[in-house]
A and B are shown apart, each in its own frame.
Chain A
Amino acid sequence: MIELLQYPFVVRALVMVLLLSVVAGFVGTCIVIRRQVFVAGGITHAAFGGIGIAYFLGVSVTAGAMLFASLTALAIDILSRRKSLRTDSAVAIFWSLGMAVGIIFMFLTPGYTPNLMGFMFGDLLTVTRSDLYIISIIAAVAVIAAIIFYRPIMYTAFAPDFAKLSGWPVAFISSAIAVVSALAIVVAIKAVGIILVLSIFTIPPTIAGMFAAKLKRMFILSTIIAVVGSLAGFVVSFAYNLPSGAMITVALVAMFLIMKVFKYISIRQKRNV
C-alpha cells in the first residue's frame, strides 16, 4: 500500500482527503448547527448549473460552479431571511433549476459528451494541483474565520434574533457563511461528487454533536471524524477498486452507526450505576 505513495495522483488524492476533511469539519459544523443541511443540498445541485454553463462557454468549470453556487447561496440566504418565501421552497427551486440549466447547457455544448458520472459521484484520483491550491485557501479561510469569529458564529446560529438585538451583523455573517459553504461545496464535488457532498459535510458534525458540549470541540471532533472516515473510505475504495466518494460515504455512515450504538450503551450503563 505504502509504495502507492510514489504515484503523484495518489498523493494528491490523499492531500485532498485531508484538506477536505478540515473544510468539512469547520464549514460542515456551521451548516449543521444552523440547520442548513437542506440548503447545502440545494447549493450543491445548483452548482451543476454553473458546471454546464462553464462547459458551454468553454471557461473554467470550477470558476463557473463557484460563481453559480455562491449566487444561489446568497439568493437562498436573502430570500429565507426576508421570509418572503419558505426556505425549503426556495431551496427546491434553485436545486431543480441548477440541475435543469446544467443538463441543458451540456447538451448544447457541441461535440462534447460530458462524464456525468464523474460529476455525480466524483473521483479523487482526478484531483489536480490547482484543486489542492483552492481547497488549501478555503481550509485556511474557514479555520481562521472560525477562530476569530468564533463567538458571533456561535451566537448568531444559536439565537439569531437575540444576536441582532445585541448589535451583531447577523445578515452579513449569515451571507458570509453561505458563500464560504458554496465555495467549499464546489471543491468537494470534484472529490466526492454532487450526490455524496452532503455526507462529508453533515455526517462528521452530526457524530461530533453527540459528544461535544462546546462548539470548539465540535469543530475539532468533526474534523477528526472526517479525516478517519474519508481516509478509511479512500483506502478501501483504492484496494478494491470501488468508487471513492461512495466508499467514503459508507465509511462515514458506518462510523455514525457505531458511535450511536456506543452512545446508547454508555448512557444505559450510566443509568444502571
Chain B
Amino acid sequence: MTEQSNPQQLISLHNVSAGYEGRVVVSNVSLDINSDTFVAFIGPNGGGKTTILRTLLGQIAPMSGEMSRLPNLKIGYLPQINDYDLQFPITVRDVVLSGQLDGNRLFPKKATLDRVDELLHFAMLDNLQDRPIGALSGGQRQRAFLCRAIMGNPQLLILDEPVTYMDKVSETNLYKLLPELSKHMAIVLVSHDIGTVAGVVKTIACVNRTLYYHPTNRITDSMLKIYECPVELVTHGAVPHRVLINHHS
C-alpha cells in the first residue's frame, strides 16, 4: 500500500437519476469521488442511499445524466449484514481470501496468503482465522468482511450500513480501522447514524430523493431537516461526537 499524493478522479456523477424498472428513486445526483474521498452518505430509509451505491458499483445503470468511471476501477464492497448461512463450512481466513481480485485465484500464491495474514492482523482477527465464520461475533464477522472487501487492493471501498445490529464497542472497533484505510483508498460509507459517522469521515452527503453534498463533516441544521428525525447524536467510546445545535423531534 502506498500513500497517495495527487488525488485522482475515480467516479464522477453529473445530474444522474437512478432507480428500478422505470421508477426514479434518486434524481439530480452530482458527485465526484476522488482517490482521497472519505464520505458518509446519510439519509432516511427509502431515500436512495442503496440506489446510489448500486449505481457506483455498476449494478444498475443511470436512467439519465452522465456518469464516468475510471477504466478497470477496482471496488471493494462490504454489503449490509444479511442472511449468510452461518453453518457454512468456510473459515475466517478463506472469507478474507475470497476477496482476491488478481493473480492466480484458483491456487493463490504465497504473496496473496501473506496479504491475508497482514489483513487479519490489521483487523485483530489473527487468532480467529481458522474458526468457521459462523463462530464469530457480529462485530468480528463484519471486520472479516471488511478484510474481504479490501483484500483486492481496491481504489474505492464501499461500506453499506456496516454497523447495523452491532454494539458500540464493536462499532468503534470497526470504525477505528477506517482512517488508516482512507490513506490508501477512497471510502464511501453509508449509514443511518449521522452522529457516529460524523466524527470518522471527512465529508458528508445527505441522500433523500437527491444528494446534497457537504464539503465538511459538520452536522448542520439543514442536514437535519433533510435527514428527518430521529438522529442519534450521542456516541460512546473513542469516536468523538459532535452536537452543534440542540435538536428535538
Contact = CB atoms under 8 A, between A and B. Distances in A.
19 contacts: A148-B106, A150-B106, A151-B98, A154-B90, A154-B94, A155-B98, A162-B77, A162-B79, A162-B98, A163-B98, A166-B101, A167-B101, A209-B89, A213-B89, A213-B91, A213-B131, A214-B94, A215-B89, A215-B90
A158 interface: yes
A149 B105 CA distance: 10
B89 A151 contact: no
Given A158-B85, A209-B87, 14 more contacts: A33-B89, A148-B106, A150-B106, A151-B97, A154-B90, A155-B98, A158-B98, A162-B79, A162-B148, A167-B101, A209-B89, A213-B130, A215-B89, A217-B89
Interface of B: 57, 59, 75, 77, 79, 84-85, 87-91, 94-95, 97-101, 105-106, 108, 130-132, 148, 152
Given A33-B89, A158-B84, A213-B91, A151 B106 contact: yes
Interface in A81-102: none
A246 interface: no
B88 A158 contact: yes
A159 B59 CA distance: 16
A18 to B, nearest CB: 24
B238 to A, nearest CB: 29
Nearest to A212: B89
Interface of A: 33, 35, 148-152, 154-155, 157-159, 161-163, 165-167, 209, 212-215, 217-218
Contacts of B79: 161-162
A155 B94 CA distance: 9
Contact of B90 (A35, A148, A158): A158
B54 to A, nearest CB: 11
A35 B85 CA distance: 9
A223 to B, nearest CB: 14
Of B75, B90, B101, most buried by chain A (CB within 10 Å of CB) is: B90
B89 to A, nearest CB: 5
A59 B173 CA distance: 65
Contacts of B152: 166
B20 to A, nearest CB: 13
A154 B98 CA distance: 9
B85 A213 contact: no
